[in-house]
Amino acid sequence: MPVRLIDSLATTEPLAEIFSDDSFLQAMLDFEVALARAEARAGIVPKTAEEAIRRAARAEYFDASRIVHEAFRAGTPGIPVVKALTARVARSNPRAARFVHWGATSQDVADTAFILLLKRAQPILTADWLRLKRALRHISNTHKNTVALGRTLMQAALPITFGLKAAGWLGALGRSQARMETAFSQALVLQFGGATGTLAALGDQGLRVGRDMARELGLGYPDAPWHTHRDRLGALVAAAGVLTASLGKMARDISLLMQNEVAEVAERAEEERGGSSTMPQKQNPIASALTLAAANRVPGLVAAFLFGMVQEHERGVGGWQAEGATVSSIIQSTGLAIQSMAEAAEGLRVDARQMRKAIDRTRGGIFAEKASLLLSSKLGRERAQRIVKEAVRQAKTKQCRLREVLAAMPEAMKVLDKQILRDLEAPTKYLGVADELRKRLLSPPEEKT
């Protein structure tokens, strides 16, 4: 299914297909087939009924637009789907039609169908995450010695390495992805409880049928139905929110570094990707823009889901009905952000010379901390900071280097010598344990001590 124009900046083609009408409809029909098979094995419905239901349960046999219309009237998609399937089965086997949806409730079919869509979406997100992980590891290793200007509160700060910056992105994303995987593993469970979650219509065979259905559909089997207990899905959407925000942080950094006056990195320039409709000279950060759009959109959706978790008794009014569109939007936005950042990282151009120029443009001012520490050992903290603040002021006024001002200050030269001044503004000599931290971020948790 092609992406709708209105959703063109909010999803990807594979995810749009997964959450399409036909896909959701087929997932609901798959639930009904699994139910019939499990009940036939348990002797609850005739084998002939299971066969008739299975033959009829194909999405192309049904009018999805009509089901959409009827779902609006029914307040759930489950009711019109069961109605349509029953009618289809009745054409070939009227007796079998009596056993469609036996012992289940409409929320069972809708919830489980949605879980089946999430199961299909997970490997797509994981595949793009692995692309992104490989690309960021490569960037970090390639630029482990590439010095760059650190920036705090959007101002020039101490030097870092670009390898450490990329590793920082990867570390946050790896933690977020791990939470996402855990949440998926807990959320991919069958919903099957019948009218009030007791499976009363199946007598003492409810658990047997439920376990069999879960195996049939490749889902986990929960301790009990979860009609109004949405904590598993809540954990999943919250994890998606954190992951998308982490991707947004990376996108923000890249888009800032792509500004013309900075020009330290650039997304890969491609035909019809990143250009302007009126300004041919522009190369816009499109992957970053799409990711930031997702990061702006998802928090509100997560909040909407969490608000709707407060549901009434054994079947909620309004909270459950709000979830489908909310969760599908969250997962699609998250998937778009992962794919976009994978593309950005795989094609990222890094300009090491421009990064070094940014450091040099500070005229040594970013090494004021280093100068203060060198002076403090002999002159004390307050006196050293007073000297360095004055040196920084003069360097800015005279537009000269910090070390040149210090060299002309007798009080400072009582402590410093020419060799110290030569090394003062060498960024590679003031990186601390940057590479050790970079390696820790890149190493799997089990390798850390």
- Residue 79: both structure tokens together: 């009711």
Bridge partners, residue 159, by sequence: 149
- Residue 3: both structure tokens together: 């992406």
Q: Buried (b) or exposed (e) across 32-66, using 16+ Cβ within 10 A?
A: bbbbbbbbbeeebbbeebbbbbbebbebeebebee
Q: Closest Cα partner for 167 from 440, 447, 430? A: 440
C-alpha to C-alpha distances, 2 to 7, 87, 116, 118, nearest whole angstrom: 10, 30, 20, 19
- Residue 39: both structure tokens together: 């009940």
Q: Exactly one of 179, 208, 268, 315 is catalytic; which is it?
A: 315
CB 234 within 8 A of CB 306: yes
Say how far apart CA 405 and CA 390 lie, in whole Å.
Answer: 9
What SS3 state is found at 192? coil
Say how far apart CA 397 and CA 392 lie, in whole Å.
Answer: 9
Q: Buried (b) or exposed (e) across 369-384, using 16+ Cβ within 10 A?
A: ebbbebbbeebeeeeb
Instruction: Centre a 10 Å sphere on the Cβ of residue 322 and count the other Cβ atoms it contains.
Output: 14
Residue 140 annotated as catalytic: no
Say how far apart CA 359 and CA 357 lie, in whole Å.
Answer: 5
Residue 443 annotated as catalytic: no
Say how far apart CA 33 and CA 31 lie, in whole Å.
Answer: 5
Residue type, 18: I
Alpha-carbon Rg for the chain in angstroms: 30
Residue type, 85: L
Say how far apart CA 114 and CA 121 lie, in whole Å.
Answer: 11
Say how far apart CA 403 and CA 417 lie, in whole Å.
Answer: 11
Q: Exactly one of 8, 185, 276, 377 is catalytic; which is it?
A: 276
Dihedral angle, C-alpha 248, 252, 255, 261, nearest 10 °: 180
CB within 8 Å of 273: residues ≥ 6 apart: 286
152's enclosing H/E stretch is: strand 147-152
Active site residues: 276, 315
